Amino acid sequence: MDFQHRPGGKTGSGGVASASESNRDRRERLRQLALETIDINKDPYFMKNHLGSYECKLCLTLHNNEGSYLAHTQGKKHQTNLARRAAKEAKEAPAQPAPEKVKVEVKKFVKIGRPGYKVTKQRDPETGQQSLLFQVRAGFKLSSGFSR
């Protein structure tokens, strides 16, 4: 068969690739590109099952080879599921109990009840001079400020 007179073919090029050959070449290029950027061993959703095929635990999809799985990880379904899971985890994160804050002890004051003294303002009617009258109860100590 003469390939040089096909449309799009050049002399000595071996002819135009068929659709299946183009797809196989494209898949291989995608696999090589994905292998450079993604490490399958670190992917939490990658799993090889007992039948020898590969599964995406996030999307629950089966893949015949690593290239198919890697192409799936770049696809729309996997990306939307990743976004959905991230949104779900962000929503559930505040629901978890926050770490307890260190409690600061409140200073305890001795309650003294009624004061042990009484202060009264006075004014002398004859001279008009103002003064303060301090009346201290019998059991009250002025030095400590608290009665015992």
The DSSP output letter for 110 is -
Chain-wide mean pLDDT for the chain? 81
Please indicate whether residue 56 or residue 147 has the higher confidence score (pLDDT): 56
Q: Across 24-38, 78-92, 108-122, 132-146, which has the greatest mean pLDDT?
A: 78-92
Question: What does the pLDDT look like over 96-142, one tens digit per residue?
Answer: 666 788 888 888 877 667 777 889 999 999 999 999 998 887 765 65
Whole-number Cα distances in Å, 117 to 31, 121, 136, 138: 91, 14, 4, 9
Average pLDDT estimate for 11-18: 68
> The whole model's pTM is what?
0.45
Half-sphere exposure of residue 71, counting CA atoms within 13 Å on the CB side? 15
Please indicate whether residue 39 or residue 89 has the higher confidence score (pLDDT): 89
Out of 1-5, 14-18, 46-50, 101-105, pick the least confident.
1-5
Tell me the three state secondary structure of residue 66. helix
pLDDT score of 109: 78
Q: Does residue 49 register a pLDDT over 80?
A: yes
Of the chain, the percentage scoring pLDDT greater than 70 comes to: 77
> What is the residue extent of each domain of the chain?
19-92
Average pLDDT estimate for 43-49: 91
pLDDT score of 30: 75
